[in-house]
Amino acid sequence: MTARIKNLCVIGTGLIGGSFSLALKQAGGCEKVIGAGRSEETLQKAQQLNIIDSYETDISAAVKDADLVFVSVPLGAMADVFEKIATGLKQAANEKAVITDAGSSKQQVLQLAEKIFTFNPGRFVAGHPIAGTENSGPAAAFAELYNNRRVILTPTEKTDDDAIRLVTELWQQAGADVETMDAEHHDKVLAATSHLPHLIAFGLVHCLENIDDIEDVFRFAAGGFRDVTRIASSDPTMWRDICLNNQQPILDMMKRYKDELDMLYNALDAGDGEKLMEVFQHAKQTRDKFTH
Ligand code: NAD
Please give the single-letter amino acid code of residue 96: K
Q: How many CB atoms lie within 10 A of CB 231?
A: 18
Q: How confident is the model at residue 211, as a pLDDT?
A: 81
Task: Write down the CATH superfamily of domain 185-291.
Answer: 6-phosphogluconate dehydrogenase C-terminal like domain (1.10.3660.10)
Q: How confident is the model at residue 149, as a pLDDT?
A: 97
Query: Residue 34: helix, strand or coil by DSSP?
Result: strand
Strand partners, 152: 128, 179
Q: How confident is the model at residue 162, as a pLDDT?
A: 97
Kindly state if the Cβ of 35 falls inside 6 Å of ligand 1. no
Q: How confident is the model at residue 292, as a pLDDT?
A: 76
Structure confidence by residue, pLDDT tens digits, 5-54: 999 999 999 999 999 999 999 999 999 999 999 999 999 999 999 999 99
Kindly state if the Cβ of 235 falls inside 6 Å of ligand 1. yes
- The domain made up of 5-181 has a fold known as Rossmann fold (3.40.50)
Q: How far, in Å, CA of 86 to CA of 94, rounded?
A: 10
The rounded Å distance from CA 185 to ligand 1 centre is 23
Q: Where are the domains of the chain?
A: 5-181, 185-291
Nearest-CA residue for atom 39 of ligand 1: 132
Cα 58 from chain centre:
23
Kindly state if the Cβ of 170 falls inside 6 Å of ligand 1. no
Structure confidence by residue, pLDDT tens digits, 69-105: 999 999 999 999 999 999 999 999 999 999 999 999 9
Kindly state if the Cβ of 77 falls inside 6 Å of ligand 1. yes
Instruction: Name the percent of the chain lying above pLDDT 90.
Output: 90
Kindly state if the Cβ of 100 falls inside 6 Å of ligand 1. no
The rounded Å distance from CA 220 to ligand 1 centre is 33
Q: How confident is the model at residue 210, as a pLDDT?
A: 80
Q: How far, in Å, CA of 23 to CA of 42, rounded?
A: 19
Structure confidence by residue, pLDDT tens digits, 211-248: 877 777 777 777 888 889 999 999 999 999 999 999 99
User: What is the residue-wise DSSP string for 51-118?
Assistant: S-SEEESSHHHHTTT-SEEEE-S-GGGHHHHHHHHHHHHHHTT-TT-EEEE--S--HHHHHHHHHH--
Q: Determine the residue of 21, 82, 104, 237 to mutate for testing ligand 1's pocket, defined as the one with the most ligand atoms within 8 A of the Cβ atom.
A: 104
